[in-house]
Amino acid sequence: MRVLITNDDGVDAPGIHALAAAVRGRGFEVVVAAPAAEASGMSAALTAVTEDGRVVFEQRPEGYGVVASPAFIVVLASLGVFGPPPDVVLSGINRGANTGRGVLHSGTVGAALTAANHGFRGLAVSLDVIAPGDVGSGGNAFTVTEDARLHWATAAELAADLVPWLAETPPATVVNLNVPDRPAAGLRSATLASFGQVQMAVAEQGEGFARLILQRGGPAEEGSDVALLEQGHATLTVLRPITEAANIAIPAQRTAR
């Protein structure tokens, strides 16, 4: 089975190296193709740098560094640009949890959803990097753990263990995995919280400008991905790719007289 591994933190990020090593260790054929530079928050945007109409990429020690968004890289892979199209797409390991309905904006999740559009199975993998900070801002302060201290292997091994299961799911299945920054984690099924771990807030606003800050959200709903992650569980959420809503009545078409 052929596995494409991409991310939105860039081809040189430690998370993608850990994930590729773990998946290769299970005996799967792996190709790594990821943005040449960080492309976080891209959702499923299809953007790329081209020269004379050609998408720019180069071979790196770990794989292909592509000057494009994660979703665009998945499209390229589906067209055979990096060898035979993959059976499964893994996106990550993202530096930071992708939880709640905020996954809409994630380049990590956007790549997995784009995989589904092409009939592939997709798994987005993220590692929690947020730790409680000094009390302040109404108790919403937080700190972000340094890369060297993060448990990338925890998320990588758990994701690699899920690949055989994912391969047996229906085509176009998309799964979102979040892993706490701990040596080991139990896996739990989770619903999406209303928001993610952090939310945007306006810190300052004046004539012609606004300054935003990120702060921790309020208490998470019981059983949601945010709540379970805070309790030390790895969370697994199956996402629905873009489909038509079947239960909304559409007004009858008006005809011209």
For residue 167, the domain's CATH number is 3.40.1210.10
DSSP string, 190-247: -BPPSS-SEEEEEEEEETTEEEEEEEE-SPPPTTBHHHHHHTT-EEEEEEPPS---SS
Q: Is residue 141 part of a domain?
A: no
Domain count, the chain: 1
Q: Is residue 202 part of a domain?
A: no
Specify whether the CB–CB gap between 155 and 97 falls below 8 A.
Answer: no
Q: Is residue 257 part of a domain?
A: no
Give residue 185's domain range: 2-132+146-194+220-239
Q: What integer pLDDT is reported at residue 82 of this predicted model?
A: 96
Q: Is residue 140 part of a domain?
A: no
Whole-angstrom distance, CA of residue 7 vs CA of residue 108: 6
Q: Is residue 213 part of a domain?
A: no
Report, as ranges of residue numbers, the positions in the chain whose pLDDT lies below 50.
Answer: 134-138
List, for residues 144-184, the tens digit of each pLDDT value. 778 788 999 999 999 999 999 999 999 999 999 999 998 87
Q: Is residue 249 part of a domain?
A: no
Whole-angstrom distance, CA of residue 35 vs CA of residue 190: 29
Q: Is residue 137 part of a domain?
A: no
Q: What integer pLDDT is reported at residue 214 of this predicted model?
A: 65
CA angle (198, 38, 117) in 5-degree steps: 80
Q: Is residue 21 part of a domain?
A: yes
